[in-house]
Structure 1
Amino acid sequence: MAECWCGSKALLTLPEDVLAMISSLLRACDLCALAQTCRALHCAITSSEKSWLAQCLLLPTSPPPHLLPIWRESFASYLSLLRFLLSLSPLLGLWAHQNPELGNAVLALWGHLPSLLAFRIIPQELPSFGLESGPLLYAPVFEILPNPQGSSSPALFFLHGAGDSVHPGSVSAVHPDSNVLLLEVDAQSQDLSHRFLRLSFGDRRRVLDFVAKRVRIAVPPKLVSAPMLRYRAEDDALLEMRMSWLLDTHKVHNGRIDRRVAESNLGESLNGTKSGSMGISCSSSKHISLQDFLRSGDSIGLSLRGARMNIGAWPNMHGNKFALYKFPTQEADVGREYAGLWGGTFGWPPGRGSEDNPGKALFLLLLSYEEVDGQRLLIATEILERRHYRYAMFTVKIGEPTVEPFPWERDGDSCPVEVMHAYNGHGIANGYGFWYPRSNLGSMFVLQNGIIAFVWRDTEEVLTLERFNFEELLKRGERVPALPHIANFAYLPDAKFH
């Protein structure tokens, strides 16, 4: 590292507040590069808490600013906290697997204490008067905590399971542009040929099930009721007690199983005739033997890995992977005001049931913009769908106003309805249980209260949507029990894979 030059000497004379203000104008990588120019600057910048706090605040995926001082208590410095945030931020957002209507729509978000939490959004019916009259149902899937040993150590992973249990593991790696989240067994192998995904599907399923059952730990009864998300200030003590228990549990039972124990328990029969004897190498096959995988390390354990894969046109999801696939969510911006996640129900008034039909199915839709043949389209795609195949619920031609009137003059509170914008479009209509859906003309109406209503012209059937703040809905939602270990990460239908 070079000796100080005159410019760096001038920077070193600045008060820390001024240095932090300058730091807030730089990217984190530029600040690190500046710290490498000389020893004195390296010491000043790396030790400047205010500079790295400024970098944490600059992150678009950072937790709310008021939480950062609380999170800082679990880290050696704000620099360590920044590394934690950067390493896990690619996991934030909405993920799904096949059959999302059965509970494979998973939302990952920051917790109140330093953690990343993932919850399954339960397919459900809205109460008779919408979400304001009842909580959103959700179930825990996994959570990630910082490693007390430092930011250079793998983060701590806890898979949730049935019966108020957790299955400890680690986060092996997270690609900065992750679009696939994989649940694996890590053999601590440096040889890429022994990757978990090179095992046959049957071996992967069995070894995952074996490890998950062996590392399962029951949550103490006094902590079962602890909210994973903070609801009230009086819950803080219980939240902290729960986090301390998780950290202590991982320290004592880190979720790893000795390789020899795994070998003796799994046995030859797991490979069957497909892989041959566990003593025979399968290097010539696209699969490796379970024995080769186990012997690539001294121990095995559950592992979470965020990867970037070429998955083709979304959602080209593989049924033989324990994986979640990320929804490519567009952010709302000028010119694409309606992009993002919306929730809603069929019928008018919005979200209201009747005496004959007190509850209405909750639909989650992803709204995104596309250019097709020079025409700007707004496409609404279901998330909690009832079909194996993916369809756009409706498509709207932005820039092509409709002359159709909105069918209703008043809403559920007898207030006049004012239409702000209206566009032509078309939406799917039922045909043999949606196996052969057809497309019917319709119109999208943007109402004064921010609600979107798509109305099919021939039937006047209406789908009403409102933009959901899922984080806030989860915070005041109702937690339901988690699914059993592996099924809790990604539901796989009962089918044979080859």
Structure 2
Amino acid sequence: MSSDLCGSRLFLALPDDILTIITSSFSPGDLCNLGLTCPGLDSFMSSHKVWLFQCDKLGLVPYTTLIEWRKGVFSYKALCRFLVNIQPMIGTWVHRNPELRHVVYVMPGFLSVVGCRIIPQEIGPLGLEDGPILWTPVFEILCNHVGSTSFFLHGKERGVDYVYPGLLKSVDRDCNVLLLEVEHRHQRGGGKLADLKNFTHEADNEVSSSQRIVGRKWTEKPFICLESDDRELLLEFVTSQVRDIVPDAANVLLFPRPRIDAVDSQQDFIVLHERRLLLLQMYERGNMNHDLKSDEGSPLNPTELGSSEISKSVDCTCNYPASQAGDATLHEFLQLGDWVGLSLQAETKEFYSCKHWPYMYESLSAFYKFPIRAPKACDEEYAGLWGGTFGLPPSADKPGKPLFLIYISYEESEGKQQMIANKILDGKSRLSPFNGSTMFIVNIDEPSMTIFPWNTDQQSNPISVMQSFKGEGICYWSRHRYPSIEPGSLFVLENGLLVYLWEHAREVLTLKRLYLGELLKRGERLPSFPPVLNFAHLTSKYRNIYPGFSHS
């Protein structure tokens, strides 16, 4: 063997296809580290083929979509940087208050990810499979040309659509909480900033209700340590300062629609490319001038502007307790600096859960990730997201009926394998039972002896039952004040539907498996709420604040 065919040279002497197969088992970080070892390896590790494979391996978007996305970035390496960063955020996020509106599905957009709120709604005339699902945008994270992120909160005020630029903070690999916060900035970047000198006018009319939080280093996370009323006040102020009107050209599509015709698909891509560039230009303009006109005599460092004046103004109008270590008040938060901006944080928190539904803090402007897993081939084949409604004869497509989203999971209890169905969205105008409640539990090792009472569906097609399981479900048709538990049976039909029958009430819930990403792409977009309410509304419990929405 030649002496120059050793080490990296021997490795690089292999055909490119073999090298690609070898490097396919590497993580993006491994590839970057390997490229630092020598110029030859760096050249190969920077090739488009290697990073295209890494992008495709993540499985977030189809291969053909990656090819189209590449036109908007410098390289597949830059694209992979973005995809790896936002991958943990993809999925279903929930909030309990009010229980009827906080289901947000985060999905790939176009060189972006979009947080889409599923609107409580009735099933449309075309049914679940072919009819559009109603949704509204909550936030969006765009990929710029080098793979960095640009965060926008969506909202609508006085009939005008706005975006509110901010900063996406570090995303934990196992993040399970999304937090919208106001944070101080010591350098430019992350969209427009707001000048807290203007906040003193707001503070003159408000009395802080902040209570001190003992035992926490509040300077590490100052915003979260404020009282909920003060957090909301700050969010309202900042969004009023940093907002941008969405131009008509950027207010059409957020992701490509399902198309059969290639010409129509290409036209959608052209519109989406132009929209993305327009939003990125708006974001960069915010970085350059913060949309603020600073005084000519202002210091170079904006964080030093008028701190004493803010403190003096707030001290004159608010009664704050004496300062103690580890405590946080609005007064102390204002003293940290003058320039603030929005930020979205994807963090990992420890919290309790019951039947996979997380325990949530009502006063926190946050979303919690719901652990929806893909079904396993054998023992958990029915796990995942299902949609349907009540009514006879059994059918998941009943126009005019409230849409229910149900998450099915598996759990072992007392040595028995159970299938658990949690409700995560309810299309009724009044909530009963609350979201997160268990609709039914069945023992998959215990067949039901109940005979399925229907031979045909509503289209007169014959019904064939493949399996049945014995269980019990929550019954809220009872005349009692509180829902009761009633025995029932789950039937698995040959056409893929699941039908749960309450034996005494003779009520029927029929479900079919749903894929939210595909439904949203052909869905119908509705107007957003004002920005702070649009992220996590914290009032009007147990009531559908989208009453009467149905498909046009």
Counterpart AA for 1:208: L
For residues 319 and 408 of structure 2, what CA distance do their matches in structure 1 show? 45
For residues 475 and 271 of structure 1, what CA distance do their matches in structure 2 show? 53
Identify if the C-alpha distance between structure 1 residues 427 and 271 changes in structure 2 by more than 3 Å, giving closer, same or farther: farther
Offset at 1:101? 4.1
Identify if the C-alpha distance between structure 1 residues 494 and 406 changes in structure 2 by more than 3 Å, giving closer, same or farther: closer
Offset at 1:20? 1.4
Mean Cα deviation higher: 51-60 or 231-240: 231-240
Counterpart AA for 1:240: H
Counterpart AA for 1:360: K
Q: The residue matched to 2:220 in structure 1 has which SS?
A: helix
Identify if the C-alpha distance between structure 1 residues 30 and 43 changes in structure 2 by more than 3 Å, giving closer, same or farther: closer
Identify if the C-alpha distance between structure 1 residues 170 and 271 changes in structure 2 by more than 3 Å, giving closer, same or farther: farther
Aligned length: 477
For residues 103 and 348 of structure 2, what CA distance do their matches in structure 1 show? 19
Taking only the aligned residue pairs, the percentage that are identical comes to 40
Q: TM-score, normalised by structure 1?
A: 0.88
Who is 1:369 aligned against? 410
Q: The residue matched to 1:125 in structure 2 has which SS?
A: coil
Counterpart AA for 2:411: E
Deviations 1:387-416 (A, max 9, x none): 446321000101211121111101122111
- Given that residues 17 and 50 in structure 1 are in contact (C-alpha distance below 8 angstroms), is that contact kept between their aligned partners in structure 2? no
Mean Cα deviation higher: 40-49 or 437-446: 40-49
Offset at 1:213? 1.1
Offset at 1:8? 1.6
Identify if the C-alpha distance between structure 1 residues 489 and 263 changes in structure 2 by more than 3 Å, giving closer, same or farther: farther
Counterpart AA for 2:114: L
Q: The residue matched to 1:226 in structure 2 has which SS?
A: coil
Who is 1:224 aligned against? 251
Mean Cα deviation higher: 5-14 or 397-406: 5-14
Deviations 1:414-439 (A, max 9, x none): 11101111111111001679962211
Q: Which of 94, 97, 120 lines up with 2:95 in the alignment?
A: 97
For residues 493 and 263 of structure 1, what CA distance do their matches in structure 2 show? 35
Deviations 1:355-381 (A, max 9, x none): xxx510000011000011110000000
For residues 284 and 432 of structure 1, what CA distance do their matches in structure 2 show? 54
Identify if the C-alpha distance between structure 1 residues 58 and 263 changes in structure 2 by more than 3 Å, giving closer, same or farther: farther
Counterpart AA for 1:215: V
Deviations 1:66-98 (A, max 9, x none): 111222223222222112111111111000112
Deviations 1:162-199 (A, max 9, x none): 12111111101211100000001121379953532122
Offset at 1:449? 1.1
Q: The residue matched to 1:324 in structure 2 has which SS?
A: strand
- Given that residues 161 and 485 in structure 1 are in contact (C-alpha distance below 8 angstroms), is that contact kept between their aligned partners in structure 2? yes
1:203 aligns with 2:230: yes
Who is 2:376 aligned against? 333
Who is 2:71 aligned against? 73
- Given that residues 126 and 351 in structure 1 are in contact (C-alpha distance below 8 angstroms), is that contact kept between their aligned partners in structure 2? no
Counterpart AA for 1:248: Q
For residues 540 and 352 of structure 2, what CA distance do their matches in structure 1 show? 25
Counterpart AA for 2:281: D
Q: TM-score, normalised by structure 2?
A: 0.80
Offset at 1:221? 2.9
Offset at 1:351? 3.5
- Given that residues 407 and 460 in structure 1 are in contact (C-alpha distance below 8 angstroms), is that contact kept between their aligned partners in structure 2? no
Counterpart AA for 1:135: P
| CA-based RMSD | 2.8
Mean Cα deviation higher: 418-427 or 193-202: 193-202
Offset at 1:59? 1.4
1:472 aligns with 2:515: no
Q: Unmatched 5+ residue regions in structure 2?
A: 188-217, 260-264, 293-301, 542-552
Counterpart AA for 2:111: P
1:461 aligns with 2:494: no
Q: The residue matched to 2:364 in structure 1 has which SS?
A: coil
Mean Cα deviation higher: 70-79 or 134-143: 70-79
Offset at 1:108? 0.2
- Given that residues 230 and 236 in structure 1 are in contact (C-alpha distance below 8 angstroms), is that contact kept between their aligned partners in structure 2? no
Q: Which of 462, 477, 490 lines up with 1:416 in the alignment?
A: 462
For residues 464 and 267 of structure 1, what CA distance do their matches in structure 2 show? 63
Who is 2:39 aligned against? 40
Q: Which of 287, 292, 315 lines up with 2:358 in the alignment?
A: 315
For residues 271 and 379 of structure 1, what CA distance do their matches in structure 2 show? 56
- Given that residues 128 and 360 in structure 1 are in contact (C-alpha distance below 8 angstroms), is that contact kept between their aligned partners in structure 2? no
Q: Which of 517, 521, 528 lines up with 1:482 in the alignment?
A: 528
Deviations 1:319-358 (A, max 9, x none): 12110001011220121000111111001241454xxxx5
For residues 186 and 470 of structure 2, what CA distance do their matches in structure 1 show? 56
